[in-house]
Amino acid sequence: MTTDSRKIALLDLDAFFAAVEVLRDPGLANVPFAVGGGGERGVVATANYLARKFGVRSAMPGHQARKLCPQLVFVKSDMAAYKDMSMQIRKRLLEITPHMEPASIDEFYLDLTSNTLCRGSASLTMEMIRGELRSMGVSGSAGISNQKMVAKIASEERKPDGQFVVEPQQVLAYIAQLPLGKIPGIGPKSLQRLHSMGLNLGSDIQNYELPKLQALLGDKAGYILHQRCRGIDLREVITSRTRKSVGTEETLHQDFTSLRAVEQYTERHLFPSLKRQLKISRWQEARIKTQTVKLKFNDFQQTTVSRATTRISASIFYSLLREAWDRRQNRAVRLIGLSVTLPDPDSAKQLELELE
């Protein structure tokens, strides 16, 4: 089967946390509100569309959101309720097709290539799904194409509660007119480098030489961006995933200005939390690939430091904390995070097969 014959959809639930909150309190339907913290240290998790008209966005500090929209109502998040609704939707999607991949709590890839519902039409099937979502009290937008990347971008075209189709023969032209900032995976620094070279649209990458792009972004990132902008995305919808990493992070009640305070908080709060998530009592019980520390500073910039190792070591975490701390440039720390990446459970088996 060629990629041109695939039918890949991305279903993106609209302002999902806010939609669940309206189900719980219908009185919120006609007021601008945000889910998250509205205090000095709070952050917006999501906002309903009334609040978005004032410029309120996810990841925005709560105090900034209040300045933009003084009448904004803040609702404390309830992840258990959001996960419950997400699981109900996942269950229904699996009844429609077994080829479903949750990309997040509110995003789902569907491979509808072999779908026989609605006369085999991916567009009609997604319209049916979106109609069922409305009956559940939430809405979703969909992008449909022959590949994941374009389906994801297309899901933003008709928000909220709409859908957009990019046929295989339209993919190259569709990507050509896209601002590069809309390509998933391009971060602010990479985008700045691209813009500095006069590369602003998908068409610019389509006409740019691969070696030059790799020199600009690195071999891997340059190759992937070059492929994606040329309409090549062979990734399949993955119906089962192995957990690749485990992490924990905390926004502090007040900014830390000393390394000792960061270390003490990590030891007292984050170490026990990470052990609980890994379901271990001693660090030596877990096999891993890397350890990572993340610090977010009071200007909301962040840094991460990683080290490869096969067993978790508290001393490595402390070393990584010090390295990250040295990058603070006199900024205070507002968030600390720890994570580990886990080994591929099939890697040993693959090695054995290669040696036989």
Which phi and psi angles does 314 have, rounded to 5°? -60, -35
Give residue 349's pLDDT: 34
Q: According to the model, what pLDDT value does residue 257 have? A: 96
Give the model's pLDDT for residue 187.
87
Of the candidate CATH numbers 3.20.20.70, 3.30.1490.100, 1.10.730.10, 3.40.50.720, the domain formed by 245-341 belongs to 3.30.1490.100
Q: What percent of the chain has pLDDT over 90?
A: 87
**DSSP symbols for 271-333:** HHHHHHHHT-SSGGG-B-SEEEEEEEETTS-EEEEEEE-SB--HHHHHHHHHHHHTTSTTPPE
DSSP alpha helix (H) spans, the chain: 16-24, 49-52, 62-68, 79-96, 122-136, 148-154, 171-176, 188-196, 202-206, 210-217, 219-229, 259-265, 271-278, 314-325, 347-355
Please, which residues have CB within 8 angstroms of residue 273's CB and are 6 or more apart in sequence? 248, 250
Query: What is the reported pLDDT for 346?
Result: 46
pLDDT at 356 over 70: no
Task: Determine the pLDDT at residue 331.
Answer: 95
Place of tokens 């972004």: 217
Q: What is the mean pLDDT of residues 174-192?
A: 93
pLDDT of residue 327: 95
| pTM exceeding 0.75 | no
Read off the tokens for 191: 């985008």
Q: What is the pLDDT of residue 232?
A: 94
CATH 3.40.1170.60 is the classification of domain 16-79 = yes
Decide if pLDDT at 119 tops 90: yes
pLDDT at 241: 65
In whole angstroms, what is the distance from residue 147 CA to residue 152 CA?
Answer: 9
Average pLDDT over residues 96-110: 95
- How sure is the predictor about 340, in pLDDT bands with cuts at 50, 70 and 90? very high
- Mean pLDDT confidence for 29-46: 89
Q: What is the pLDDT at residue 354?
A: 33
pLDDT score for 1: 54
For residue 350, pLDDT beyond 50: no
Domains 16-79 and 172-229 share a fold: no
For residue 79, with 0-12 CB atoms within 10 Å meaning exposed, 13-18 middle and 19 or more buried, which class applies? exposed
pLDDT at 39: 73
The confidence score (pLDDT) of residue 66 equals 94
Q: Do 63 and 37 form a contact (C-beta atoms < 8 A)?
A: no
Catalytic entry in 107, 132, 250, 323: 107
pLDDT of residue 122: 97
Residue 347 has pLDDT above 80, yes or no: no
Per-residue confidence band for 262, with pLDDT thresholds at 50, 70 and 90: very high
Over residues 274-327, the pLDDT tens digits come to: 999 999 999 989 899 999 999 999 998 999 999 999 999 999 999 999 999 999
139: pLDDT strictly greater than 90: yes
- Check if 107 is active-site: yes
Report the CATH fold assignment for 3-14+80-167.
Answer: Alpha-Beta Plaits (3.30.70)
The pLDDT confidence band at residue 244, using thresholds 50, 70 and 90, is confident
What is d(CA 36, CA 47) in angstroms, rounded to the nearest whole number? Answer: 9
Closest to 22 (Cα-Cα) out of 35, 5, 4: 35
Half-sphere exposure of 321 (CA within 13 A, CB side): 25
SS3 12: strand
Q: Where are the domains of the chain?
A: 3-14+80-167, 16-79, 172-229, 245-341
Does residue 92 have a pLDDT over 50?
A: yes
Q: Average pLDDT of 324-333?
A: 95
Task: Report the topology of domain 172-229.
Answer: DNA polymerase; domain 1 (1.10.150)
| % of the chain surpassing 70 pLDDT | 95
> For residues 267 and 269, what is the distance between their CA atoms, to the nearest angstrom?
6
**Does residue 8 contact residue 135 with C-beta atoms inside 8 Å?**
no
Chain mean pLDDT for the chain: 92
